[in-house]
Amino acid sequence: MAAAPAPQLLHADAHCIVALKDSGLLSVPGRGEHGQDCLAARVRAVHADALVVHRLDMSTSGLMVFARGPDAQRALSRAFAARTVHKRYVTVVAGRLGADAGEIDLPLAADWPNRPRQQVDLVGGKPSLTRWHVLSTDAAQDTTRLELEPVTGRAHQLRVHLRAIGHPILGDALYAPPEICARAVRLLLHASRLAFAHPASGAPLQFESAPPF
């Protein structure tokens, strides 16, 4: 079996690592032999003490932070839970929105008969909030490029929220209609900015990655 490619590291110190995940690569190990290649494994091949703090969907690309050691993992996990980690994503969606910015406030829950899909559930769903603003529009393609801020961090939140307001993400095999999914060779969703307090010093850190689409 060929060795996995080396991870793209944007930052590494004694307490944390920031790496770039490709679309189609798992964040953490999956089932079976073919599920063992993932960003976490690639990072651990370089820094054996790297610990997972959060995840990106397999189809999503972009920035992920790893902790080095349990103390840093606890500090970063608390920061995510307290929503003091600031994340931004860039996406391209079908259609053009009727405003320059807005919010999607719709509760989400697992769609158990159709796992791993999630769904809007106005009765039993968990509160979920996404802020968005328009970066650009393409009238010829009838698409809009958005920057997204997930205030909460539910599974598939951005994908489900955008579909719910009638603007599914191009290339989304789970939530977009087939004709919208087919308009891109991958999910056009990229974790483009990550800002957090250093888990040891508390110093502000911010990283950016331009979307590859």
Half-sphere exposure of 114 (CA within 13 A, CB side): 7
- Identify the CATH number of the domain defined by range 88-189: 3.30.2350.10
Beta bridge partners of 9: 19
pLDDT band at 186 (very low <50, low <70, confident <90, very high): very high
Please state the domain extents for the chain. Answer: 8-85+196-208, 88-189
Q: Are 8-85+196-208 and 88-189 in the same CATH fold?
A: yes
pLDDT band at 63 (very low <50, low <70, confident <90, very high): very high
Neighbours of 212 (CB within 10 A): 12
Considering the chain, what is the average pLDDT of its residues?
A: 96
pLDDT digits (tens, 9 = 90+) for 94-118: 999 999 999 999 999 999 999 899 9
Which residues are known to be catalytic? Answer: 57
pLDDT band at 2 (very low <50, low <70, confident <90, very high): low
The DSSP call for residue 181 is H
- Identify the CATH number of the domain defined by range 8-85+196-208: 3.30.2350.10
Q: Measured between alpha carbons, how far is 91 from 212 in angstroms, rounded to an integer?
A: 11
